[in-house]
Structure 1
Amino acid sequence: MASELEHPVDVAQYLFTRLYQLGIRTVQGVPGDYNLVALDYLPKAGLKWVGNCNELNAGYSADAYARVKGISAMVTTFGVGELSALNAIAGAYSEHVPLVHIVGQPSTASQRDGMLLHHTLGNGDYYVFADISAKLSICNVRITDPHRAPSLIDHALRQCWVESRPVYIALPTDMVQQKIDGKKLAQPIDLDPPPNDPAKEEYVVDVVLRYLQAAKNPVILVDAGAARHDALDVVHELIQKSGLPTFVAPMGRGAVDETLPNFGGVYAGNGSNEGVTDRVESADLILSIGPLKSDFNTTGFSYRTSKLNTINFDTDHVEVRYSLYTNIRMRGVLEKVIQRMGTWNVHPERILTTRVSPQLHGIHTDSSEITHSWLWPTVGSWLQEGDIVITETGTANFGIWETRFPKGVTAISQVLWGSIGYSVGACLGATLAAREVGNRRVILFVGDGSFQMTAQEVSTMIRQGLNPIIFVICNDGYTIERYIHGWDDEYNDIQTWHHGSLVQAFGASSQSRYKTYQAKTKAELHSLFTSPEFSGSSVFQLVEIFMPRDDAPIALKLTAEAAASRNAAA
């Protein structure tokens, strides 16, 4: 292949080959007349095209694909397509997800002449949509000169990877087939983050070690930033070498091996697992790794920790108490801290305060209705090593706090951006990625209201022959909204769907390709969880779980109460 790349290649061939080199194997999106010729190059670069039902769902799907594979790409068309995707792109930006958004644009000549083309605003402004995306991407490039195309593409992809945020690449129709030098493809893109200033890094390491050595009961708190910025290996080394009690924030789920003896549970302020709040908030030093202290991640800002007792390690800075050290990446600091920390005046303790679910076969089940307090600990006994678990904003997002994960579980949720319907599109992307990395089980928990937002992407899962397990929580509407405001108001109601019938309506023609179930009691759901056929099935499965309308996880109730109070504040 190297010799072939020494010859001139088309711009689209260069771009898609670079995506392949970054580990991407599937590109998603919606075709449009400004991107059709570019799409012809996907198979030439070894990439598979998966068309989505709409651009918003494609963005959600690409977001989850990136969370599993490390980076993703999607293609939309100019104007109508790219705007439809922007809600998903904004979510990826806010939650630090590396997503490459490629937009097929009208030709450079059409743009220069201000032609009155379809998908424009009719005012000759061809920059307006790219300008909007510039606010939601870490890098925004337009390919208008073939000579500059390789450097622009490489720069954008490097920024996407290193900064772990979306980038925007505009590809006009007349640039797709322009010839450029292919020699550069033989040289991989430099994906190493910029190094820390050695002297500054040394100083920060010394400061951290000084506080760590003086601490009597320190703890580690891991959040989303650890998972998003390729630091999990060094974080795990710190956890295991130190033996310190370790906790995760809700957005940090999946970033820590929860089977480790020093794992203590989920810390989210008032919504924490039993015993966790006291242990974290009584610590005289908190090593906070990748913090993201949003309202839904902290049960309505209910953290009671002091900056005087906290060291925050983030992507590009470290904050020690009230001192901020900018342009210092946490990875380099943590690596040196691990090398030098030795032992100190702390006896590592075994702390398992998270409620551990009993074995499934020993769970008391009866014909009573399914409740959140029963469901989520029970789910922990059913999960397997390596599962990918997706939870929707609402009851599932908060309920999963009570689930203990086996080793290697990846948790996907959109706690900060919180766009309802995200999880169904995310289920598609995660399952596509799982198929590429070894057929890990993908499990989705989504409420009936959220499911209605993006349900059509189930048809894409069926068309692709994917086999996720989808649990639709049927509790008659928008439960999280009810707890915030308008308990019995019409705006929180939805039309009841027969979810099992949708699978056939979406094109699953043979019952050998899918299975649907209903669970209205604990006993019925327990029988599914203990069924080897259900747990190991290779076909698409959908389960309707019927739950009381007024039941919700305690953490959701507390967060909703805090949100309602803030909304009503003068």
Structure 2
Amino acid sequence: MQPPESDRYPEISTTTVSQYLIRRLQELGVSDIFGIPGDYVLGFMKQVENSPLKLVGTTNELCAGYAADAYARLRGLGVLCVTYAVGGLSAANAVACAFAEKSPIVVISGAPGLREARKRGLLHHMVGPADAQLRAMQPLTAAQCVLDDPLTALREIDRVLAVCLRRKQPVYIEIPRDRVDMVCQLLPKAPENPPTSDIDELREATGEAFAMLITAEKPVILAGIEIQRMGLVPPLLAFAEKFNIPICSTLLSKSVISEKHRLYAGTYVGALSRKEVIEFVEASDCVLSLGAMPTDMDTGNFTTHLAASSTIQAIAEGIRICHHSFGDVLLDEFLESLSALPLPVYSRLIPAQNNLLATPWKANPDHPVTTARLFHKINSILSAEMAVLADPGDAMFGSIDLAVHQGTMFLSSAFYATLGWAVPAAIGAQVAHPSLRPLVLVGDGAFHFTGTELSTAVRLGLDPIVIVLNNHGYLTERFILEGSFNDVQEWQFHKLPELFASGSGFLVHTEGELDQALEKALANRGKFTILNVLLEKLDSSPALRRLGASLGDLLKK
């Protein structure tokens, strides 16, 4: 007698492609998705709306991308959801920024249905073949997939998410709109096989590093952005504290550790840095550069002077010690090996900080505000609950000397350098951590790009403090080549609260007005505050002036 069919064939668990993707994002700690609706993605967005995840609508896809980027920098993974072509291609610049600066975001895009694309051909938003957006995203993302096959869809989701978390770069998931509710068979989760270092290469790299460190008397750690992105701050700090090795950050990794930490020696960005920081780093007999990408921005336009013979450079792509390269050594395993070495406890003293921003602030009430004095005042109000978000330009360069209290609480597009990043990023930062108070530093030209994203802050009840450095155009470009193309239309930034019927705005000419405006801004909870700080056209931060002087000296040689 045959057993019942239900006994012979155990019940197979199934799910839909949307349900599985949403579940996996939740398992990875995501609670919010940023995006803009469009007909090709509405079906998936409805699934999100019916899930525990929260959809955060922004004013456009580019701003959604910047917000997801900042969210990822603070939470470890961000998600951007857009429609096909007009949405995805609008967001492409934000995706490129995240790719360049190693910020792990998942880009989810709707797409034309398979049947309609096959039968009807030309559909709205299309720019040629149906795979045009997929091909456009390939150089901007670390992995891509189209969820069109029930036999492979779930495995593809797992694959691209694993790449996103391992590479710390964006990935792209495309869902044809007639496959949103596609039923897939749940399979046992594939075993993870994380990469490991070549044992012999790791041993040799560690041995060469030990030979340099054991003879060094003045070592320093240059902690780069990959330390933060890869979750290596705790082991880095444990290593530095065990052997009493001072730590500097780069511009992109500024605040990789708290800048109040006893071992923090400053932000080293070549000629952009203060004199005592430059001399301290460049006088080191062993520079342990961990996770620092040697870009033009992080090196102050290549004005750093670090001898290869005394530098250990370790990044995700491999290790370079003097003139020897080790391409199959992982950064985390290299740091673990260094921590196990029998090194001495070093006695190198941190240099005295000759930082004018650290001196007590006292306003000259009737004096016009200058850029240097503005940053002096900003430094005086920073607290542990604040995150500083600086837009590229002098808003970012001037921030080099700020003392950020909490680790990873300085955020900026400090390599890709895309203008307009900071305001929408502040939305993502406060959604990621609602207890944070974003302090946004942005130039007047950059504010023109994305400043109206403050309307999202109104809708969500967020309270960023936005300081517009209004120097009547693109200051950094003026330093490179002056022309009328650097001028922008004057906006009455402080009147934006009237447009949004919410928030507070202040026009600031003098130091006294700056004091009063910031006092009111700090007390204004639950609503945004914007300061329109009027500056002289060519006034600049001390950091930008230092860089200009250094480059001028180079040109004379």
The Cα offsets for residues 97-133 of structure 1, whole Å up to 9 and x where unpaired, read as 1010011011122334461111113x4x112221111
CA pair 189-405 structure 1, distance change in 2 beyond 3 A: farther
The runs of 5 or more residues in structure 1 that have no matched partner are 509-513
Which segment drifts farther, 532-541 or 257-266? 532-541
Using the alignment, how far apart are the partners of 1:368 and 1:34 within structure 2?
56
Structure 2 counterpart SS, 1:272: coil
For the structure 1 residues 240 and 386, does the alpha-carbon distance in structure 2 shift closer, same or farther, using more than 3 Å as the test?
Answer: farther
1:372 aligns to 2:371 (yes or no): yes
Could you say which residue in structure 1 is the equivalent of 2:506?
A: 517
**1:466 aligns to what?**
462
**Could you say if the C-alpha distance between residues 409 and 15 of structure 1 is closer, same or farther in structure 2, counting changes exceeding 3 Å?**
closer
- Classify the secondary structure of the residue corresponding to 2:88: helix
1:10, 1:151 → 2: CA distance?
13
1:526 to 501, 515, 518: 515
Partner SS, residue 75 of structure 1: strand
Q: Deviations over 1:476-529 (max 9, x none)?
A: 11111111112xx32111111111222231353xxxxx2222322122223444
Residues 515 and 183 (structure 1), Cα distance of their counterparts in 2 relative to 1, 3 Å cut: farther
How many Å apart are 1:140 and its aligned residue?
1.0
Question: Does 43-52 or 383-392 show the bigger shift?
Answer: 43-52
Conservation of the 8 A alpha-carbon contact between 1:392 and 1:450:
yes
> Which of 172, 175, 183 is equivalent to 1:171?
175
Query: 1-side partners of 2:549 and 2:90: how far apart?
Result: 32
- Separation in 2, partners of 1:396, 1:560: 16
Structure 1 residue 201: Cα displacement = 2.0
Q: Relative to structure 1, is the Cα distance of residues 469 and 95 closer, same or farther in structure 2, using a 3 angstrom cutoff?
A: same
Partner of 1:195: 196
Matched-pair contact (CA < 8 Å) for 1:73–1:99? yes
Give the counterpart letter for 2:446 in structure 1. S
Matches within 5 A, 1:218-233: 218-233=219-234
Displacement, 1:451? 0.3
Does the residue aligned with 2:155 lie in a helix, a strand or coil? helix
**Structure 1 position 539 matched with structure 2 position 539:** no
After superposition, the Cα gap between the structure-2 partners of 1:359 and 1:302, relative to the gap in structure 1 and judged at 3 Å, is closer
Equivalent position amino acid for 1:201 in 2: L
For residues 150-187 of structure 1, give each alpha carbon's deviation from its aligned partner in whole angstroms, at most 9, with x where no partner exists. 10001101101110001011100121101123465xx6
Judging changes above 3 Å, is the alpha-carbon distance between structure 1 residues 220 and 6 closer, same or farther for their aligned structure 2 residues?
Answer: farther
Q: Aligned partners of 1:298, 1:75: CA distance in 2, in Å?
A: 35
Secondary structure of 1:275's partner? helix
Choose from 492, 504, 512 the match for 2:486: 492
Q: Give the 3 Å change call, closer, same or farther, for CA 564–57 of structure 1 in structure 2.
A: farther
- Residues 460 and 107 (structure 1 numbering): CA distance in 2 closer, same or farther, change over 3 Å? same
2:527 alignment partner AA: V
Residues 49 and 560 of structure 1, relative CA distance in 2, 3 Å threshold: farther
Distance 1:354 1:565 in 2: 23
Pairwise mapping of residues 27-46 of structure 1 onto structure 2 (< 5 A)? 27-46=33-52
Describe the shift of the 1:389–1:266 C-alpha distance in structure 2 as closer, same or farther (beyond 3 A).
same
Report the CA distance between 1:356 and its aligned residue.
Answer: 6.3
Deviates more, 1:312-321 or 1:519-528: 519-528
So what's the TM-score if we normalise by structure 2?
Answer: 0.92
Other structure's SS at 2:287 match: strand
Cα distance in 1 between the residues matched to 2:12 and 2:410? 42
Distance change >3 Å, CA 561–CA 32, structure 1 → 2? farther
Task: Work out whether residues 261 and 351 of structure 1, in 8 Å CA contact, stay in contact via their aligned partners in 2.
Answer: no
Match of 1:453, SS state, is helix
CA RMSD of aligned residues (A): 2.4
Q: Which residue is equivalent to 2:307?
A: 306
Query: 1:236-315, aligned counterparts within 5 Å?
Result: 236-315=237-316
Q: Distance in 2 between matches of 1:43 and 1:189?
A: 31
Matched-pair contact (CA < 8 Å) for 2:521–2:529: no
Equivalence for 2:115:
109
Deviates more, 1:370-379 or 1:260-269: 370-379
Q: Partner of 2:4 in structure 1?
A: none
Once residues 499 and 357 of structure 1 are traced to their aligned partners in structure 2, the CA distance between those partners, rounded to angstroms, is 26
2:532, 2:355 → 1: CA distance?
26
Q: Which amino acid aligns with 2:43?
A: V
Q: Number of aligned pairs?
A: 545
Distance 1:536 1:246, change over 3 A: farther
TM-score, structure 1 as length reference: 0.90
Q: Look up the match of 2:131.
A: 127
1:61 aligns with 2:60: no
Alignment-mate amino acid for residue 515 of structure 1: S
Letter in 1 for 2:485: Y
1:445 offset after TM fit, Å?
Answer: 0.6
Tell me if structure 2 keeps the 8 A contact 1:61–1:430: yes
Distance, in Å, in 2 between the alignment partners of 1:445 and 1:188 is 45
The equivalent residue for 1:556 is 544
Counterpart-to-counterpart distance in 1, 2:203 and 2:276: 36
Q: Secondary structure at the match of 1:211?
A: helix
* Contact residue 74 and residue 408 of structure 2 kept, 8 A: no
- Judged with a 3 Å threshold, the aligned counterparts in structure 2 of structure 1 residues 358 and 129 are, in CA distance, closer, same or farther, namely closer
Instruction: Report the secondary structure of 1:257's partner residue.
Output: coil
Structural mapping, 1:394-473, within 5 Å: 394-408=393-407, 410-435=409-434, 439-473=435-469
Partner Cα distance (1:114, 1:560) in 2:
58
Distance 1:286 1:565, change over 3 A: closer
Q: For residue 117 of structure 1, what is the amino acid of its counterpart?
A: L
Identity value in percent: 28
**Structure 1 residues 504 and 7: CA distance shift in structure 2, 3 A:** farther
Structural mapping, 1:77-116, within 5 Å: 77-113=83-119, 115-116=121-122
Partner of 1:149: 153
Cα distance change on mapping 1:179 and 1:206 into 2, 3 Å: same
Say if 1:295 and 1:559, in contact at 8 Å, map to a contact too: no
How much does 1:350 deviate? 3.6
* Partner SS, residue 349 of structure 1: coil
Instruction: Flag the 1:139–1:560 CA change in 2: closer, same or farther, 3 A.
Output: farther
Q: Give the match for residue 511 of structure 1.
A: none
Partner Cα separation in structure 2 for residue 301 and residue 535 of structure 1: 42
How far residue 308 of structure 1 moved from its aligned partner, in angstroms, is: 1.2
Change (3 A) 1:271 1:563: closer
Summarize the Cα distance change of 1:409–1:291 in structure 2 as closer, same or farther, 3 Å threshold.
closer
Instruction: Report SS of the residue matched to 1:343.
Output: coil
Change in Cα spacing, 1:6 to 1:227, as seen in structure 2 (3 Å) is farther
Per-residue CA deviation, residues 55-113 of structure 1 (Å, 9 max, x unaligned), is: 11111111111111111111111111111111111111111110100110111223344
CA distance, structure 1, for counterparts of residue 13 and residue 460 of structure 2: 35
C-alpha distance in 2 between matches for 1:81 and 1:390: 25
User: Offset of 1:433 from its aligned partner?
Assistant: 0.9
Residue 168 of structure 1: SS of its match in structure 2? strand
**1-structure distance, mates of 2:162, 2:349:** 42
Unaligned stretches of 5+ residues in structure 2: 1-10
